[in-house]
C-alpha cells in the first residue's frame, strides 16, 4: 500500500486530541475520504438518524483512508463506514487495481475489528475537470460493484447516474470549479446516499436528550488563539459568566467538518450533554484582520467581552462552507439562538448572513449588516425530534438555550 505524502497526518492529530478529550458517541456512521466528504455541509442533516461523524481531508487517497482507518473510524466502533476515495489516486497516476485493493483493505479491517460492519462505497463521481480519466474511475466503480455483489457487508452507492444524466461530461452547473460539487451537486449526492443508506442501516437509537435546564445559557467563543490573531475567552469573564472556548488554533488555519466542542457548560458552569460540531469548515482570523477589540456594552451587553469579539471564524470560499450543529437539545424545550457578527471599523459595510436549519420557530429578524456589531436572533425554536436533535447554522458567535 503506497501512501506517499500523507494529507491526513496533521488533521489526524487534531481529531485525536479532540476525541481523547471528549469522545464522540460510538455506533454511528463514520464518513471518510477526500474533499467531497470534507465539504459535505449537508451531511449532518441528510444523515442525522445515523449519527454521522465526518472525517474527510482534501487530497486524501484511498491508500490514506486504509492506512488511517483505525484512527478515523475503528476507534469509534461504527455501525457502518461511508467511504469516498479513489479519484485522487487515479489523478496521481495510480492504477485502478491499487484503488480496488485499498477498498478491500478497508473492508478487511472493518471485518477483523467488527464482523458485519457495513462499508458503503460512494462511487467516484464523474467531473468535467477529470473527464479524461473517467474510464479509470468507472472501472473502479464497476470493480467495487462486483465486490458488493459477492460480499453483503459492502454496499455500493450510485452517485454517478444522476450526474451523467446531465451530460457526458456532467453539466458544469453542478460544480464549483469543475471538480468539487456545489449545492446543486450535493442535492443529487444527498439523494443517492440517503436512498442507499436508509434501507441498509437502521437508525442509531440513543437516549432522548434532556438538554440544559430551563433558563440556562450557553456561550461559545470561536476563533484563533495565537497572540497575533486572537485570544481565548476567559473561563469566567468580568461579568462572572462562563464561556466555552474553541480549541487551540492559529490564525488563518482551517477548522474542518467533524471537529467539535463537546459537553458544553452553561454560563453558571453546569455541565451539559450539548455538543457543538462543525458541519462545514471555517477559517480563523482576528486581531490583524478586523477583530473588534473594544466592544460596546451598549450594543452587546454582557457579550461585550473583547477576547470573544476580537477574533472569529469566517467563510467566503467554497473550500470553507461554514456550518455549525448543536446536538443534545431537548425537542420538548424551546430555545433561542443569538447570533452576532462584528467588525473593528465602520469604514466599510460587510454583510453576514445566518441560515438556521433544523428548528421550528420564528426566523432571524434579518440578515445583519455588520459594521462594529450586529445581531440576529431566532426565538421560540424547537429542536427536531429526529436527527439526534440538532440545529445547524452558519455561522454562530454565541448561543443561548
pLDDT score, position 361: 53
pTM of the model: 0.88
Q: What is the pLDDT of residue 397?
A: 35
Kindly list the distances between the CA atom of residue 200 and the CA atoms of 42, 82, 105, 194, 274, in Å, as whole numbers in the listed order: 20, 12, 21, 10, 29
pLDDT-above-70 percentage for the chain: 86
Q: At a CB cut-off of 8 Å and minimum separation 6, what does 294 contact?
A: 306
260-261 and 275-280: which strand pairing? Answer: antiparallel
In DSSP notation, 37-56 reads: HHT-TTHHHHTGGG-EEEEE
* Tens-place pLDDT, residues 113-144: 999 999 999 999 999 999 999 999 999 999 99
Alpha-helix residue ranges (DSSP H) falling in 126-277:
134-150, 161-164, 183-197
Is pLDDT at 400 greater than 80 in this prediction? no
Cα angle at 336 between 333 and 338, to 5 degrees?
160
3-state SS, one letter per residue, for 113-137: HCCCCEEEEECCCCCCCCHHHHHHH
Q: Which helix (H) or strand (E) holds 286?
A: none
95-104, 249-258, 304-313: range with highest mean pLDDT: 95-104
Q: What cell numbers appear for 322 in the block?
A: 461554514
Burial class (CB in 10 A: 0-12, 13-18, 19+), 116: exposed
Report the pLDDT value the prediction gives residue 22, as an integer from 0 to 100. 94
Under 8 Å between Cβ of 28 and 50:
yes
Residue 90: which pLDDT band, with cuts at 50, 70 and 90?
A: very high
Taking residue 280's Cβ as centre, other Cβ atoms within 10 Å add up to: 25
Of 184, 298, 285, 305, residue with least CA distance to 243: 305
pLDDT at 241 exceeding the cut of 70:
yes
Amino acid at each position: 500500500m503506497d501512501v506517499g505524502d500523507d494529507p491526513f497526518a496533521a488533521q489526524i492529530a487534531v481529531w485525536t486530541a479532540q476525541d481523547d478529550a471528549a469522545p464522540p458517541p460510538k455506533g454511528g456512521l463514520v464518513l471518510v475520504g477526500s474533499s467531497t466528504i470534507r465539504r459535505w455541509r449537508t451531511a449532518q442533516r441528510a444523515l442525522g438518524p445515523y449519527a454521522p461523524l465526518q472525517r474527510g481531508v482534501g487530497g486524501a487517497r484511498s491508500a490514506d483512508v486504509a492506512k488511517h482507518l483505525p484512527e478515523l473510524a475503528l476507534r469509534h466502533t461504527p455501525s457502518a463506514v461511508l467511504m469516498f476515495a479513489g479519484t485522487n489516486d487515479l489523478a496521481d497516476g495510480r492504477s485502478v487495481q491499487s484503488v480496488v485493493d485499498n477498498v478491500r483493505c478497508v473492508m478487511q479491517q472493518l471485518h477483523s475489528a467488527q464482523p458485519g460492519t457495513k462499508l458503503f462505497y460512494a462511487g467516484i463521481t464523474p467531473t468535467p475537470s477529470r473527464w479524461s480519466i473517467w474510464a479509470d474511475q468507472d472501472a473502479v466503480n464497476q470493480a467495487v460493484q462486483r465486490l458488493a455483489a459477492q460480499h453483503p457487508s459492502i454496499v455500493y452507492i450510485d452517485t454517478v447516474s444522476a450526474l451523467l444524466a446531465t451530460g457526458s461530461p456532467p453539466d458544469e452547473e453542478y460544480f464549483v470549479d469543475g471538480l468539487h460539487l456545489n449545492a446543486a451537486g450535493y442535492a443529487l449526492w444527498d439523494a443517492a446516499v440517503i436512498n442507499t443508506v436508509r434501507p441498509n442501516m437502521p437508525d442509531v437509537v440513543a437516549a432522548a436528550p434532556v438538554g440544559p435546564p430551563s433558563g440556562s445559557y450557553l456561550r461559545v467563543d470561536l476563533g484563533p488563539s495565537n497572540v497575533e490573531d486572537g485570544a481565548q475567552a476567559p473561563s469566567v469573564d468580568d461579568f462572572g459568566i462562563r464561556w466555552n472556548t474553541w480549541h487551540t488554533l492559529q490564525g488563518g488555519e482551517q477548522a474542518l467538518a467533524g471537529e467539535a466542542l463537546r459537553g458544553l457548560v452553561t454560563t453558571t458552569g453546569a455541565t451539559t450533554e450539548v455538543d457543538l460540531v462543525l458541519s462545514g469548515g471555517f477559517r480563523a482570523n482576528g486581531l490583524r484582520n478586523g477583530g473588534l477589540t473594544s466592544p460596546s456594552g451598549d450594543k452587546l451587553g454582557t457579550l461585550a467581552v473583547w477576547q470573544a469579539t476580537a477574533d472569529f471564524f469566517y467563510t467566503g470560499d467554497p473550500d470553507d462552507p461554514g456550518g455549525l450543529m448543536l446536538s443534545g437539545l431537548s425537542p420538548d424545550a424551546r430555545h433561542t439562538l443569538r447570533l452576532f457578527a462584528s467588525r473593528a471599523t465602520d469604514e466599510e459595510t460587510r454583510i453576514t448572513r445566518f441560515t438556521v436549519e433544523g428548528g421550528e420557530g420564528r426566523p432571524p429578524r434579518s440578515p445583519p449588516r455588520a459594521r462594529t456589531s450586529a445581531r440576529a436572533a431566532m426565538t421560540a425554536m424547537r429542536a427536531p425530534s429526529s436527527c439526534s436533535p440538532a440545529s445547524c447554522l452558519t455561522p454562530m458567535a454565541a448561543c443561548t438555550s
